[in-house]
């Protein structure tokens, strides 16, 4: 039977332990490795190290969902125990949606991914993509429905329509609590499953996770689709984002010693890229004391919660608009 009560779908880790003792499984279904363009390269984000950390932390299934690339599996292995293939697909369908949508796809082979790439190169049609995923029985999830790429004008009406076509909707710890609440509203309205994810870009895999039964990944995900699952969350979103930002700062300030020569890292934001360029080996990297002091100050500011507060404040008009449309 599909679980309806939103409040019961979120539990703390002490309650989760009881379910794990009964054989339930846990996984973090949205994690980026050093293969993503916006992940600071370092030892913690290398696919093999992330895999090792996840297993050591008790994850029953591991998947990497890098941005439009499956290179992590070329590194870690395409057929490895407990590792399930995954990717975060970006699609900008101007006709049907009007803004960029992110989709996590799971449990496919390399030929499937090549076909997905060909399909996207031919046309940016989200419904054709969804038809392909369904016809090939590729598991998939609607990522952070109310996150919108900077500079794009969101079509909030399209989000509600799109939610009808996905089996699982994401509760993303990098997004605002209010936006995740609206995602939960859509999941309940259309009887969809939900999965909580870290969407970590810094190696903090598994800080939140989703519990469900399953002898393999596919059974596990199917139970999430049916609402037979729980989302394990111990810390508020603002604290999660602050800690992720602190880890990101640490990785950025230590890129000099850990970055390979062929790494092409970018945050996707020109201003941040310029800051990182300043921090890198060209300047601050040559002055360890200045580098460490600057990193400490940046982490103190981040840890104060001020950047997160200002970000939340800047998004309130958008949150109000989403609420009017979803509740209207």
Name the region of 53 (left: φ>0; alpha: ψ -120 to 50; beta: rest). alpha
Name the region of 202 (left: φ>0; alpha: ψ -120 to 50; beta: rest). alpha
The predicted pLDDT at position 40 comes to 83
The predicted pLDDT at position 82 comes to 94
Per DSSP, the residues of 180-210 read: HHHHHHHHHHTT-EEEEE--BSSS-TTSSEE
Phi, psi of 211 (to 5 degrees): -105, 135
- Please state, in angstroms and rounded to a whole number, the distance separating the CA atoms of residues 12 and 208: 10
Which domains does the chain show, CATH number per domain? 7-236 (3.20.20.140), 240-327 (no CATH)
- Please state, in angstroms and rounded to a whole number, the distance separating the CA atoms of residues 260 and 42: 9
The pair of three-digit structure tokens given for residue 91, joined into one six-digit string: 């699609």
Q: What string of pLDDT tens digits covers the 328 residues of the chain?
A: 445 455 559 999 999 999 999 999 999 999 999 999 999 888 999 999 999 999 999 999 999 999 999 999 999 999 999 999 999 999 999 999 999 999 999 999 999 999 999 999 999 999 999 999 999 999 999 999 999 999 999 999 999 999 999 999 999 999 999 999 999 999 999 999 999 999 999 999 999 999 999 999 999 999 999 999 999 999 999 999 988 988 888 887 776 444 443 445 444 444 444 444 545 544 445 556 655 666 566 666 666 667 777 878 888 999 999 999 998 7
- Please state, in angstroms and rounded to a whole number, the distance separating the CA atoms of residues 42 and 28: 20
The predicted pLDDT at position 252 comes to 77
Does the reported pTM lie above 0.85?
Answer: yes
The predicted pLDDT at position 65 comes to 98
State the CB neighbour count (10 A cutoff) for residue 94: 11
The predicted pLDDT at position 2 comes to 46
The predicted pLDDT at position 302 comes to 62
């Amino acid at each position: 039977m599909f679980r309806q009560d939103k409040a019961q779908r979120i539990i703390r880790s002490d309650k989760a332990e009881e379910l794990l003792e009964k054989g339930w499984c846990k996984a973090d279904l949205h994690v980026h490795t050093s293969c993503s363009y916006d992940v600071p390269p370092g030892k913690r984000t290398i696919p093999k190290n992330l895999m090792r950390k996840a297993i050591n932390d008790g994850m029953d299934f591991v998947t990497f969902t890098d941005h439009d690339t499956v290179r992590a599996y070329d590194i870690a292995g395409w057929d490895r125990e407990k590792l399930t293939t995954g990717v975060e697909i970006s699609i900008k369908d101007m006709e049907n949606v009007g803004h960029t949508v992110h989709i996590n796809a799971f449990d496919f082979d390399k030929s499937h991914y090549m076909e997905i790439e060909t399909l996207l190169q031919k046309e940016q049609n989200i419904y054709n993509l969804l038809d392909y995923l369904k016809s090939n029985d590729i598991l998939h999830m609607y990522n952070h429905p109310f996150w919108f790429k900077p500079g794009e004008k969101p079509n909030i009406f399209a989000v509600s329509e799109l939610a009808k076509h996905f089996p699982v909707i994401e509760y993303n710890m990098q997004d605002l609590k209010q936006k995740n609440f609206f995602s939960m509203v859509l999941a309940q309205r259309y009887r969809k499953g939900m999965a909580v994810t870290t969407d970590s870009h810094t190696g903090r895999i598994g800080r939140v996770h989703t519990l469900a039964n399953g002898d393999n990944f596919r059974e596990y995900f199917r139970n999430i689709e049916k609402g037979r699952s729980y989302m394990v969350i111990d810390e508020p979103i603002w604290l999660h984002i602050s800690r992720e930002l602190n880890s990101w700062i640490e990785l950025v300030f230590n890129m000099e010693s850990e970055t390979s020569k062929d790494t092409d890292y970018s945050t996707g934001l020109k201003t941040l890229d310029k800051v990182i360029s300043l921090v890198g080996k060209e300047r601050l990297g040559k002055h360890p004391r200045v580098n460490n002091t600057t990193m400490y100050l940046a982490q103190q500011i981040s840890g104060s919660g001020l950047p997160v507060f200002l970000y939340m404040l800047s998004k309130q008009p958008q949150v109000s608009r989403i609420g009017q449309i979803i509740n209207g």
